[in-house]
Amino acid sequence: MNQRLSNIELLRCLSMFMVLLLHSSFMIYGMPGSLEINNAPGFWGGKILQQGIGIVAVDVFILISGWFSIKPRILSICSFLFQIYFLKCLSLIIFFALGKVHFSKDTFTELLMLKPDQGWFIKAYLLLYILSPVLNKFSENTRPKIFSNVLIAYWVFLFLFGWITESTAYINNGYSIVSFIGLYLLGRYAKIYHPKWSNYSAKKYLSVYIITVAFFCCMIFIAGLFKLRHTDLIAWKFCSYISPLTVIGAMSLLLCFSKINLPYNKWINICGKSCFSVYLLHAMWGYWFDVLKKIDSLFEGFNYMIVVFAFLLVVYLGCILLDQLRLQVWKPIAKCFFDENGK
């Protein structure tokens, strides 16, 4: 059996914890303006740092998909869909038993992700999965020079029309399949052709990531302290998944972990296999936001940071454990309907 090294799997696990960091900062409290930052600089400094650390999470996850390449089979796509709907149904049953959710038309609409603003990541990733044979063929059969030119042109287009001017709706600040294709191809290019910019040490790539986080935090915090107009819009710009800062930071983290010599580790790889459940489960049915706001009302300063971190860790591990149940249910189903080759 081909076992993946655990260095990139560790990054996959880390990227999902970063999603929790991301979704416990600006997503809860909104984009900070100069008034908010000046009134509570300590609180907002912490939230900006959380956002700066975690903003690369989605890009990292897609880059990893490109690094390994998605190998589409009927078995794997069925497993992916089963994971989504099993965990959604399981969480619905748990919240219903606790009296937190009541069945209605909206409940089933949310369950099936039929509303435009629901499950954007899942829908985009599913389409990426469908397109992956074409993207893989292009990556493996295109000369390096042509591949690099296509990548440069693609990302210049995204930066110009999706980030600088935001004049192209379907790019949607990176919340779309358009950015996922660019990230996937970037990951494939780095893995297949080993360009010069991918051959430095892990320390150098970690330094680049830290610089992108520091620049992100300084730009927003200083804009707020100096009461610049539209500080919230500056924050929004830097929180884009196609911001050059986000893409560079995400790529730097991937290359950093690729240089770490970490052999196969069973527990890391088990966590890596199940960490997508963290994304699926953590904010389902809206109670994530209620708990975090309750913590905010009860704790301050360092105590607040400790309690939030502990809560995020419990949520993370809880999601991983729930996904083990999904795997046990899926095994006999897969064995019944598919052969060893996944057909």
Mean pLDDT of all residues in 99-121: 77
Amino acid at 261: N
pLDDT score at 101: 73
Instruction: Tell me how far CA of residue 105 lies from CA of 94, 97, 101, 108, 234, in angstroms.
Output: 18, 18, 12, 5, 38
Helical H runs in the chain? 6-22, 26-29, 34-39, 41-54, 57-68, 74-97, 105-111, 120-141, 144-158, 177-193, 202-225, 231-238, 244-258, 266-274, 276-281, 287-298, 301-337
Enter the pTM of the model.
Answer: 0.92
Using one digit for the tens of pLDDT, what is the confidence trace for 37-71?
Answer: 888 888 888 889 999 999 999 999 999 999 999 98
Return the pLDDT at 179.
96
256 pLDDT more than 80 = yes
How far from 165 is each of 12, 30, 159, 168, CA to CA, in Å?
31, 22, 8, 8
- Residue 74, pLDDT > 70, answer yes
Res 130 pLDDT > 50: yes
- Tokens 């900070």 identify what position? 32
Can you tell me the distance from the alpha carbon of 56 to that of 248, in angstroms, rounded to the nearest whole number? 9
Asked if pLDDT for residue 213 goes beyond 90, the answer is yes
Query: Would the pLDDT of 1 be above 60?
Result: no
Which of 88-97, 182-191, 196-205, 323-332 shows the lowest mean pLDDT across its residues?
Answer: 88-97
Over pLDDT 90: what percentage of the chain? 57
Q: What is the mean pLDDT of the chain?
A: 89
Q: Inter-axis angle of helices 57-68 and 244-258, to 10 degrees?
A: 50
Average pLDDT rounded to a whole number, residues 189-205: 96
Of 65, 95, 66, 94, nearest to 80 by C-alpha is 65
Q: If you average pLDDT over residues 77-106, what whole number do you get?
A: 84
**For the residues 226-244, what does the mean pLDDT come to?**
81
pLDDT value at 184 more than 50: yes
Structure tokens at 67: 């690094």
Task: Evaluate whether 121 touches 276 at the Cβ level (below 8 Å).
Answer: no
Poorest-pLDDT segment among 138-152, 161-175, 187-201, 259-273 = 161-175
What pLDDT score does 37 carry?
85
Q: What is the pLDDT of residues 10-38, one digit of tens each?
A: 999 999 999 999 988 888 888 888 888 88
- Transcribe 300-335 into DSSP letters: -HHHHHHHHHHHHHHHHHHHHHHHHHHHHHHHHHHH
Closest CA to 220 of 46, 5, 18: 46
Structure confidence at residue 119 (pLDDT): 84
Contact 20, 316 (CB under 8 A): yes
Confidence of residue 98 (pLDDT cuts 50, 70, 90): confident
pLDDT at 255 over 70: yes
**Farthest CA pair distance, the chain:** 64
- Residue pair 219/238 in contact by the 8 Å Cβ criterion: yes
Residue 286: pLDDT band with limits 50, 70, 90: low
More confident call, 117 vs 289: 289
Higher pLDDT, 181 or 41: 181
Q: What is the mean pLDDT of residues 245-266?
A: 95
* Residues 6 or more apart whose Cβ sits within 8 Å of residue 159: 242, 244
